Structure 1
Amino acid sequence: MRIRRATTTEAPDINLIPLIDVLLVIVIFLVVSTTFMQPSQLEVDLPGTQSAKEDTSPPDALRIRIGRDGNYAFGAQGILNESQLRRELTKTLSAVNAGEERRAIVEADAAATHQSVVVVMDMLASLGIARVSIATAGGKAP
């Protein structure tokens, strides 16, 4: 008995639905695994503490970074001097409702001078921000 194979002249079909499914899963994985941080041009090595607490700072808090060389950064703004920092803070605070209380977080490098931290805290106080926190890196103290 002779078995004949059916001959087809159709070109093979490429099914795009599994490809789209795989690409969507990859995109979802990348979106979920990506951390969203504010980029800053000023790297700061925060001083450590023995008692580590998680970051419970409000998301609308003003973040001012102080580098080891005395430079300042505000949010995504680059390296600023004192007058530029005051101007940026004033501009940001003018856009806020009058009754709303603002908070600030000072992220000073471990090697930053005490004077630069005091200058920023004095500047914040003169602009009416009474609630100022100093950021630390938990568990890194000697």
Structure 2
Amino acid sequence: MRIKRTSASEAPDINLIPLIDVLLVIVIFLVVSTTFMQPSQLEVDLPGTQSAKEDDTPPEALRIRIGRDGNYALGSQGILNETQLRRELSKVISAGNAREEKRAIVEADAAATHQSVVVVMDMLASLGVARVSIATAGGRAK
């Protein structure tokens, strides 16, 4: 029995049709399974929570309040603008113990702008605050 051997000069053929078919099926699956949501259709009711937990926040945590008019307060001290808040935050954080974990609680009014909350969280991140909590009406969200 003789087996026909192919010569080494013939290159093996790669059939691309099944590969294209599989890729087309994957693309069709992704297009069909993807949900398209418009942000304007989402109803958001933020500052409240469903579960009311006890306030287990350590007393050494910084409390930053954001009013509906965009004014800030650090603890009981009222602050008018962002530069004063950054200055006071850096003073308080640098005066603390370097070994303990830095924590902060952001208490934003329900009508406060999202931008003011983001500004405060950015300040805290740039000053090295490790844990930031958002206070809500029913307790605390982490």
Q: TM-score, normalised by structure 2?
A: 0.63
Q: What displacement does 1:66 show?
A: 0.2
Q: What displacement does 1:98 show?
A: 1.5
Query: Is structure 2 residue 58 aligned with structure 1 residue 58?
Result: yes
Aligned-residue CA RMSD in angstroms? 1.5
- Between the aligned partners of 2:58 and 2:80, the Cα distance in structure 1 is 24
Secondary structure of the residue aligned to 1:125 is: helix
Secondary structure of the residue aligned to 1:78 is: strand
* Residues 106 and 134 in structure 2, CA contact (< 8 A), matched pair in contact too: yes
Equivalent AA in structure 2 for residue 133 of structure 1: S
Larger radius of gyration between Structure 1 and Structure 2: 2
- Between the aligned partners of 2:57 and 2:98, the Cα distance in structure 1 is 21
- Between the aligned partners of 1:133 and 1:127, the Cα distance in structure 2 is 16
Question: Within 5 A, what are the aligned runs for 1:1-142?
Answer: 47-138=47-138
Q: What displacement does 1:87 show?
A: 0.4
Secondary structure of the residue aligned to 1:116 is: helix
Q: Deviations over 1:7-64 (max 9, x none)?
A: xxxxxxxxxxxxxxxxxxxxxxxxxxxxxxxxxxxxxxx9211111111111110000
Give percent identity, aligned residues only: 86
Secondary structure of the residue aligned to 1:106 is: strand
- Between the aligned partners of 1:58 and 1:76, the Cα distance in structure 2 is 17
- Count of aligned positions: 94
- Between the aligned partners of 1:99 and 1:80, the Cα distance in structure 2 is 31
For structure 1, the residue ranges without an aligned partner over 5 or more in a row are: 1-45
Match of 2:13?
none
- Between the aligned partners of 1:73 and 1:94, the Cα distance in structure 2 is 18
Q: TM-score, normalised by structure 1?
A: 0.63
Q: Deviations over 1:76-102 (max 9, x none)?
A: 111321000000001111111221211
Match of 1:13?
none
Return the structure number with greater relative CO, CA threshold 8 A, min gap 6.
1
